[in-house]
Structure 1
């Protein structure tokens, strides 16, 4: 690519589907493996430091027009990709087409206190999945104004939801995720806004704290 960056993609035959990674030239030499499972789930493994690797899974979940069976297959695919990779750090991110909403009793540490709106059925399924995999939904942990939380806007601009999430497998997310936020100023031409996490890669961190 122009600028020396690298693009990994899979899917795209159907205009509404396809996932991928755009890797900056400064870190492209750290890439170990790209695995595209299908047009909804892809995985990138990279070297974090001399001790650890990180697996990043990019996803695009079925929308509300798709059946519950398709949703279950989607989560099974994520599980398959995660279980085949033994990286110490794991980041699962993308468009989950699910509203997690505010923290609810029973969520434990899967969600924080900074979610947006009310949870729907697909949001409940996402929380169940995250809990079963010991994942933390990082968007819900960092205090932001409501205008910095929503990730999707309806065509008429009246409805704004938080449906794109970044999750990590570490018990204390602050030892790997320093911040998760929406990028407001970048116009991608999409009805979604970009979500960004700042990741700590200090190799001196004690493993027991991860």
Structure 2
């Protein structure tokens, strides 16, 4: 890509439903492995300060996608999460197309008090996956300025939501 950046792309010739990972030259040197799981999920391992760390980048299907396709997507993610030993650090990044909320109390182990959206159909499987694999949605645990909370803005300029998350173990 120039300027010392490397682009990893999973989506063939279509931009929709693809996972993109851009690494600067420093991060590229730390890269140990790269594995494409599906067009919506890829896994890299990087050498970190505390050892080797897997990083998963995901693109979850939108609410309009078929339930079977969304279930398959989360099955791939869950399988990949299960393959990471529980004592390892883990980072999951990218676009989950999920609205999550903190009002129900069901997902308090994964979801913090700063979630800004309502729980939508994509939010439930994401939070269930987080609970199952002992993951935290970090974006919901810290107070930030309003402008930094939303990650998606509609074309009308009025609708804004938090759909992209950084999830860790």
TM-score, length basis structure 1 = 0.74
Report SS of the residue matched to 1:158: coil
Unaligned runs of 5+ in 2: none
Deviation at 1:103, TM superposition (A): 4.5
Deviation at 1:113, TM superposition (A): 0.7
Tell me how far apart the structure 2 counterparts of residues 156 and 33 of structure 1 sit (CA, whole Å): 41
The structure showing larger relative contact order (alpha-carbon pairs under 8 Å, at least 6 residues apart) is: 2
- For residues 125-152 of structure 1, give each alpha carbon's deviation from its aligned partner in whole angstroms, at most 9, with x where no partner exists: 2111110111000000010132220111
* Number of the residue aligned with 2:38: 38
Unaligned runs of 5+ in 1: 170-210
* Number of the residue aligned with 2:51: 52
* Number of the residue aligned with 2:110: 110
Tell me how far apart the structure 2 counterparts of residues 102 and 146 of structure 1 sit (CA, whole Å): 17
The answer on whether the counterparts of 2:74 and 2:125 sit within 8 Å (CA) in structure 1 is no
- For residues 149-202 of structure 1, give each alpha carbon's deviation from its aligned partner in whole angstroms, at most 9, with x where no partner exists: 011111111211111111001xxxxxxxxxxxxxxxxxxxxxxxxxxxxxxxxx
User: Any runs of at least 4 consecutive aligned residues in structure 1 with deviations exceeding 6 A, and if so which?
Assistant: none
* Number of the residue aligned with 2:75: 76
Is 2:11 the partner of 1:11? yes
- For residues 30-89 of structure 1, give each alpha carbon's deviation from its aligned partner in whole angstroms, at most 9, with x where no partner exists: 11101111210011110113x521111111111111111111111111122233344811
How many corresponding residue pairs?
A: 168
Tell me how far apart the structure 2 counterparts of residues 82 and 162 of structure 1 sit (CA, whole Å): 23
